[in-house]
Amino acid sequence: MTSDLDLLRQFVRENSQDAFNEIVRRHLNLVHSAALRQVRSPQLAEEIAQSVFADLARNAGKLKPDTILTAWLYSVTRRTAIDVVRKESRRQLREQIAVEMNDMNATANDWTQIEPLLDDAMAALDETDRSAILLRYFENKSLREVGESLKISDDAAQKRVSRAVERLREFFSKQKITIGVSGLAVLISANGVQSAPAALAKTVIAVALVQGAAGGGSTLAVTKGVLKFAAWVKANAVIAVGAGLLLAGVTAALAVELIHQRAPESWQTAPDIYYKFWLEPPYRVEIRPTANNVQILFAPGPNGEFIGRDVSFDGILYTAYGNFSECRTILATPLPAGRFDYISKFPRGAREALRQQIKKQFGITARGETCVTNVLLLVVKSLIAKGLIVSTEVSNRSGRSGDFSQDGLHYWDGRYSFHNVTLSDFAQYCEAEWQMPVLDVTGVTNRFDIDFSWKSKRDGSQKVAFKQAMLDQLGLEFVPTNAPVEMLVVERAKD
């Protein structure tokens, strides 16, 4: 069997994707399992795995000839996971651990006690002992293979492994966890590495090869931005564009640079857009860098026309392709940076004209695709709730009500107060807050005056408070599940 280092040399020398695929196949389960033990979040664990293999692709040519790749990957996984944990609030992490540990079934009571501390115990070992444990029990290598990797005899490998397990046992003993050496070895061998999600390997390869070629920057940050929804959707929706990603960023940047910096026009600077403006020629479609010091504005015309000012590129996409939220979008290509003004002024076909302009100017198109993804179902537990009152409005008009600050209602202050809205309207609000598709399955068509508040904090614990307040005050709750959702797939134009 070709060694890990030979595969890496082949990848560096020939840019062989097959060689890199084989490395990912061999080690993904170890990396994903180590990450999952530390962050206790499947989604974060997948993002960490992507980051680790992207680091490997970028640094493959720099590894020393005597590197034990298993140990290198394990070390990078731990460092990356620690960085992630540090960026999470301590309270959020504790709540996340408590919730997800209830959902995850350990294989034995002893493993349930050992698992949360295993990586700390491994970190306490010296490098050689740690490598011995990883090779013997995480990858189930024979003692001969362990000895060959460590460049020692079979007998020396046996002693090294036994001593390392004893040190792990001593570590757990200090944590008031009593277990024998043989039992500890069996538990680690049986549970230390578990199967990663089937689709993750393809995602990891795509991200790693792109980042390895691009170099620089924060790999984890880029991974989270570009493939934020990759773990939720079908693998082929992400992988189909792997090769095109390398040039997409450069192309988009050039497209922005090539926009002519002409003097702002009246539609970019006028404080308001009057009805007469829409009825007079010229009819046009344009996307331009935003004019400086201009009021942010979205102005719809009487026949489907529209003007938008000072928006990001995704805002233009959502206007052109419909009411898709960020969490219902799959970015298969980077989007142009910066802020834009745009206009599509046609009595008919304004939306299609904007789509064609996006394609012509930036080489980007989009399409709808139904994908099975993680969702929250909004369900009714009780319609007798103080914050959920049937509206007395005769029309379908909706709007805010309740108390406001001078600058309007601040959602992050822990208050939702609207009148004459449907539960579907409320589900859309929740989707924006939770950054996950929220589906209204209540079957309730009444309009309500909704007013409820929760003790909000800027860390993730506000979601726990939000859910409890929603149940207590509105009689509504979320049910997490998987369901088909119409997603907007943004990709490079093929022609």
- Please count the structural domains in the chain: 3
Inside any domain, residue 480: no
Question: Are residues 264 and 395 both part of a single domain?
Answer: no
pLDDT for the residue numbered 49: 92
Where does 280-345 have alpha helices with state H?
A: 313-321
pLDDT for the residue numbered 401: 43
Inside any domain, residue 248: no
- In the structure encoding, which two tokens stand for residue 96, read together? 């996340």
Measure the CA dihedral 140/144/146/150, to 10°. Answer: -170
Inside any domain, residue 160: yes
Question: Are residues 18 and 98 both part of a single domain?
Answer: yes
pLDDT for the residue numbered 100: 43
Question: Are residues 49 and 155 both part of a single domain?
Answer: yes
CA distance 223 to 207: 7
C-alpha dist (Å) from residue 3 to 69, 212, 417, 478:
10, 21, 62, 49
Question: Are residues 386 and 410 both part of a single domain?
Answer: yes
Q: Residue 407 is inside which H or E element, if any?
A: none
**pTM score, two decimals?**
0.45
Inside any domain, residue 198: yes
- Domain C-terminal end among 184, 204, 239: 239
pLDDT, tens only, 464-480: 888 888 888 888 999 88
Confidence of residue 92 (pLDDT cuts 50, 70, 90): low
User: Which residues fall within 8 angstroms of residue 173, CB to CB, at 6 or more apart?
Assistant: none
Question: Are residues 339 and 438 both part of a single domain?
Answer: no
Beta strands 448-453; 388-390: pairing state: antiparallel
pLDDT for the residue numbered 383: 65
Inside any domain, residue 253: no
Question: Are residues 73 and 189 both part of a single domain?
Answer: yes
- Domain C-terminal end among 337, 369, 401: 369
For 396, the domain range is 382-474
- Note the residue count of the chain: 495
pLDDT, tens only, 118-162: 988 899 899 999 999 999 888 888 888 899 899 998 888 888 998
- Domain C-terminal end among 369, 399, 415: 369
pLDDT for the residue numbered 262: 64
Give the strand order in the sheet containing 340-345.
284-289, 340-345, 306-311, 297-300
pLDDT, tens only, 202-240: 777 776 766 665 554 455 544 444 444 344 333 444 333
pLDDT, tens only, 417-455: 777 888 888 898 888 777 889 999 888 888 888 877 877
Confidence of residue 87 (pLDDT cuts 50, 70, 90): low
pLDDT, tens only, 27-72: 999 999 999 988 878 888 888 999 899 889 988 988 998 999 999 9
